[in-house]
Amino acid sequence: MSEGQRGCIFLNHQYPAMKKIILLTPLLIFIASAASSLTSAQSKNDLQDVRTIAVSGDAEVKVVPDEVLISIGVETENKNLDAARSENDRRTGEVLASLKAMNIDPKYIQTDYLSAEPRYEYESGTNRKKEIFYAMRKTIDVTLKDLSKLESLVSKVLSLGANSIYQVQFRTTELRKHKDQARMLAVRAAREKAQAMAKELGQNIGKPREVREVSEYYSPWYSNRYGRGRDMRTQNVMQDDGGSGATEGSVAIGQISIRAQVSITFELQ
């Protein structure tokens, strides 16, 4: 037998084996797919058989603030734009100098807003606008760490030509810590609620199936130049950090609220 013939015999022996492998592959895929579908269906049935109870928990932590953000507005008006800008620069400079004299760190002082715009009025009996003057406005944000200086700061800047105090916002520098604390209390409240409800049904709660944070709120008390304010209150759990919220002069510092809400689904046993 020649070399070429032996090669042909070798190829003829290999072909049936390859054909069996090709034929077996779809069968294996089908079996694996069927097993996977059976497992998935079984898992869904298992989940449907588990009895659960879903509850929510709310908590609030009340904290005495340790800093305050003040927005100071300086606005000037003049028929001449350069005159309006010059006057605004003078007043703003005096306000900044007074803040420096109060030993406020420059990194806590920032010009937040700057605008220059013409002001108009309509001519009587026509739709034509008549230019009256230019308005120049700057807003300076100040973060005050010593809250005892708040009242004197406001009085000083208003006497130097500031027109408005846009907001006085009390804050805490330990916001993350208090948020974590509020979240932990909300989880505890949810668990206690689930236990109480399950007990009334003659059941016990098991492991949690689902846990999610619904929302969290940081509710600093603040007022703006229109005298409005907001203060979000709580339900379920409230914890006081023990501070008293001192009164500085005629300014009551009070407390600020940090809230958290969670939703948890427990197994019933």
Q: What CATH code would you report for 67-171?
A: 3.30.70.2970
**Annotated domain spans of the chain:** 1-49, 52-64+174-268, 67-171
Number of other CB atoms surrounding residue 136 within 10 Å: 24
pLDDT given at position 241? 54
Q: Decide if pLDDT at 180 tops 60.
A: yes
- Predicted confidence at residue 226, as pLDDT, reads 34
pLDDT at 210: 94
d(CA 184, CA 112): 36
Q: Measured in Å, how far apart are the chain's first and last C-alpha atoms?
A: 80
Residue 227 confidence (pLDDT) above 50: no
pLDDT confidence of residue 231: 33
Judged by phi (left if over 0) then psi (alpha if -120 to 50, else beta), residue 242 lies in left
**CATH 3.30.413.10 is the classification of domain 52-64+174-268:** no
Residue 181 has pLDDT above 80, yes or no: yes
Question: What percent of the chain has pLDDT above 90?
Answer: 54
Two tokens, residue 29: 């895929």
The overall average pLDDT reported for the chain is: 79
pLDDT of 202 strictly over 90? yes
Tell me the pairing of strands 237-240 and 52-63.
parallel
Among 19-23, 130-134, 188-192, name the one with the lowest average pLDDT.
19-23
Say what the pLDDT of residue 232 is. Answer: 30
Res. 101: pLDDT tops 70? yes
pTM of the full structure:
0.62
Select the more confidently predicted residue: 39 or 123: 123
Maximum average pLDDT range among 2-11, 56-65, 222-231: 56-65
230 pLDDT higher than 50: no
52-64+174-268 and 67-171 have identical folds: no
pLDDT tens for 106-162 read 999 999 888 988 888 777 777 777 768 899 999 999 999 999 999 999 999 999 989
Contact 213, 183 (CB under 8 A): yes
**pLDDT, tens digit, for every residue of 246-265?**
555 556 778 889 999 999 99
Q: Considering only residues 228 and 36, tell me which one the structure prediction assigns the higher pLDDT.
A: 36
> What mean pLDDT do residues 30-38 have?
56
The pLDDT of residue 194 is above 80: yes
